[in-house]
Structure 1
């Protein structure tokens, strides 16, 4: 059953003539007649009494006129709603961010955006591992993502564009009973043979990979323990169960301050940093992303 069939049926019921409907729509009378025959076959009922000069609706035909009009009206309303949704989607922005991420970077960007005279965005957020975020970006499930990069992702996938928003020091949280807590900074060698705790939603191991990469793994015998919440991380350190890679940007959330100290990490006397990247797919032409990148002055952060 097609919309054109229903519209022509309604017109035929009003006009009482296939020819008048054909003339109105610039089609042949035979086309209209065939459409009505096909409609009757699809419904399994006779809609018209046909004579040489006149067409009259059957009882079923009279009933179906109202039904057909309701179907067409509902379809038109649905089309209007779909157009509204499509228009709204043009201003949709799907933002992703990883666990152990300081949302201040996102908040700053959104406040910067809203401070300008830019279109209103329909923003949704997703919290995932870095691996999942990059995959969702490539597949078009996200428009952009804020990534915590511990110098593991030297280059993102070629279809992705990225820029560095800020850099922060890499710190370790250590129980004050641990002798390492007396140091002003940690050297890579200080991490050897330590139980290292890290905070991540899944086994993407970005923190573990970073530590193994910067250390001489032939000489170190570290054990790694993943926890899924900040509370678990802090409790483990407060109980002196190990040392933890602790994001500098969430330092203000540190609990058990009487028991925990944070110390910056150095390698070859050079302080170590991680970067916050904003990553998006180059071919994403959604208005929401275009507006957002323009509104947060992304060009001022561009690193390539």
Structure 2
């Protein structure tokens, strides 16, 4: 049954006039009369007694008011729910970061996008890189900003994930200025066999360790790679020559300001020292705001 006709019926029933209903509905009296005829024909009953100057409801017409109002109310409620749900979906993004440095990159990368789209609500959570990618793969997150290390591991595990590189560069080795090797212009892993590679993650995870051992295969020993639970502790241990660290070249300027006792040197070995900070998303995710974000960064 047509909702517009039911709404017209309710106005006629209330005002007792086709003409009054016509004015409120921006219709002609004849069009209102035609709509009422259609409803009566569909129901198979007479709803109105049409008099010269007034329209009166029949007993069936009176009975139908409640039903008509229920139908109209149910329709409006359903439409409101759908519009509200779609509005939330269109204006909402769930995102993740893997470290404080990625949080800085998140802010730098998305500031312009969010300024142009101020109504988008964004949720952010921090997890280890592997966990983040799994959440994006399951579409529990719309996207994450996490490093790409130039290995093939992620493509094999998460074939539905796509990435957009935000910043690309290489790894630098951070080494204490207390170590004479820090005065070189570049450095080789073979010169660091007596030092541990210290990597930071606050999570109980060997994900980064596995990546570094794959990425620098033959240059690092498994027992040489050690996890540190806080970034400050990792940097302090490097500064006092208790180990060395790997630092993305795109963050070296900032790291130099924060860590005056560490020198940052390019890697001289012939190896895969590629690094990027990337947006990762599931290509099957239909969130329209994610599509807007992907389009924005794909066209840069």
TM-score, length of structure 1 as denominator length = 0.64
Return 80-89 or 105-114, whichever deviates more.
80-89
Aligned partners of 2:100 and 2:64: how far apart in 1?
69
The SS at the match of 1:152 is coil
Structure 1 residue 199, shift from structure 2 partner = 0.9
| Structure 1 equivalent of residue 93 of structure 2 | 93
Aligned partners of 1:254 and 1:229: how far apart in 2?
18
Aligned partners of 1:198 and 1:100: how far apart in 2?
14
* Matched-pair contact (CA < 8 Å) for 1:234–1:254: no
Greater per-residue helix proportion: 2
Aligned partners of 1:170 and 1:199: how far apart in 2?
15
Structure 1 residue 283, shift from structure 2 partner = 1.3
| Structure 1 equivalent of residue 187 of structure 2 | 186
The SS at the match of 1:84 is helix
Aligned partners of 2:148 and 2:296: how far apart in 1?
24
Unaligned runs of 5+ in 1: 1-17, 28-72
Aligned partners of 2:127 and 2:62: how far apart in 1?
58
The SS at the match of 1:294 is helix
Return 223-232 or 199-208, whichever deviates more.
199-208
Aligned partners of 1:283 and 1:125: how far apart in 2?
21
- The counterpart of 1:267, out of the listed 251, 269, 286, is 269
| Structure 2 equivalent of residue 281 of structure 1 | 282
* Matched-pair contact (CA < 8 Å) for 2:98–2:129: yes
* Matched-pair contact (CA < 8 Å) for 1:166–1:275: yes
Aligned partners of 1:112 and 1:240: how far apart in 2?
40
* Matched-pair contact (CA < 8 Å) for 2:109–2:166: no
The SS at the match of 1:101 is helix
The SS at the match of 2:173 is strand
Aligned partners of 1:197 and 1:260: how far apart in 2?
14
| Structure 2 equivalent of residue 243 of structure 1 | 244
Aligned partners of 1:190 and 1:221: how far apart in 2?
16
Structure 1 residue 229, shift from structure 2 partner = 2.2
Structure 1 residue 206, shift from structure 2 partner = 4.0
- 1:128 and 2:127 correspond: yes
- 1:232 and 2:233 correspond: yes
Aligned partners of 2:281 and 2:260: how far apart in 1?
41
RMSD: 3.5
TM-score, length of structure 2 as denominator length = 0.65
Structure 1 residue 231, shift from structure 2 partner = 0.9
* Matched-pair contact (CA < 8 Å) for 2:114–2:120: no
**Cα 1:200–1:272, aligned 2, differ >3 Å: closer, same or farther?**
same
The size of the alignment, in residue pairs, is: 234
Aligned partners of 1:258 and 1:160: how far apart in 2?
38
* Matched-pair contact (CA < 8 Å) for 1:234–1:256: no
Give the ranges of 4+ consecutive aligned residues of structure 1 lying more than 6 Å apart after TM superposition.
18-21, 76-79
| Structure 1 equivalent of residue 217 of structure 2 | 215
The SS at the match of 1:232 is helix
